């Protein structure tokens, strides 16, 4: 049906909003099916960059699954970086980095942290609070690789400060140790 609508669009004038809605629904359908290749082909077929940007942004705001969010954040960053506002750019980059960190976690656990995908620093803190030290090590390594040259609202120093804060708390004993006397 989507392909028929696309053919119709080439034969008759379709209002811009209807065109955006059609392509957005088609894109969402492809992303839900996990067909990233066809989703990319669909976006490449759209001739008007403004329409393509609107479709991609609206689809990203639907809070799809992890793979779809990662795909759309990557696509928007790669193709429309200059067209985005600074705030939106940071938001999309944070989502991209957060989804990349989520992909480093064991698959069954990803669902527990998915709601934090647009806030990677908070996700890292949650992992620390849940004592997932091995996961934190992989996440920090991934963040260090991804943060080079990115502006998303936090830096490598913020990560280091967070790790220091929790390391200090781990060594903080609320009671004093008394020596046993024999």
- Classified as helix, coil or strand, 171 is helix
**Kindly report the CA angle at 97 between 107 and 139, in degrees rounded to 5?**
55
Lowest mean pLDDT among 14-28, 36-50, 102-116, 143-157: 143-157
pLDDT for the residue numbered 150: 66
Name the band, by pLDDT with cuts 50, 70 and 90, for residue 40: very high
pLDDT for the residue numbered 7: 76
Statement: residue 153 has pLDDT above 80: no
Cβ pair 122, 152 in contact under 8 A: no
Q: CA–CA separation, 24 vs 10, rounded Å?
A: 17
Share of the chain above pLDDT 90, in %: 18
Statement: residue 182 has pLDDT above 60: no
Instruction: State the chain's mean pLDDT as an integer.
Output: 85
pLDDT mean over 89-117: 89
Lowest mean pLDDT among 24-33, 45-54, 55-64, 171-180: 171-180
Angle between helices 66-80 and 49-60 (to 10 degrees): 150
CB atoms < 10 A from the CB of 129, how many?
A: 10
Q: CA–CA separation, 23 vs 31, rounded Å?
A: 12
Cβ pair 36, 19 in contact under 8 A: no
Question: What is the Cβ-side half-sphere exposure of residue 29, based on CA atoms within 13 angstroms?
Answer: 10
């Amino acid at each position: 049906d989507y392909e028929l609508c696309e053919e119709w669009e080439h034969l008759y004038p379709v209002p811009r909003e209807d065109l955006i809605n059609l392509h957005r629904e088609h894109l969402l359908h492809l992303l839900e099916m996990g067909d990233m290749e066809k989703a990319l082909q669909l976006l490449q077929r759209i001739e008007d960059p403004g329409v393509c940007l609107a479709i991609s942004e609206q689809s990203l705001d639907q809070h799809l699954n992890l793979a779809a969010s990662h795909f759309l954040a990557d696509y928007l960053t790669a193709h429309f970086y200059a067209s985005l506002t600074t705030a939106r750019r940071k938001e999309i980059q944070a989502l991209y980095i957060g989804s990349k960190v989520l992909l480093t976690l064991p698959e069954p656990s990803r669902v527990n942290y998915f709601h934090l995908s647009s806030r990677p620093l908070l996700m890292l803190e949650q992992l620390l609070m849940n004592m997932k030290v091995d996961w934190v090590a992989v996440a920090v390594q991934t963040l260090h690789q991804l943060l080079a040259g990115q502006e998303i609202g936090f830096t490598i120093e913020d990560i280091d400060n967070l790790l220091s804060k929790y390391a200090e708390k781990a060594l903080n004993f609320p009671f004093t140790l008394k020596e046993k006397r024999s």
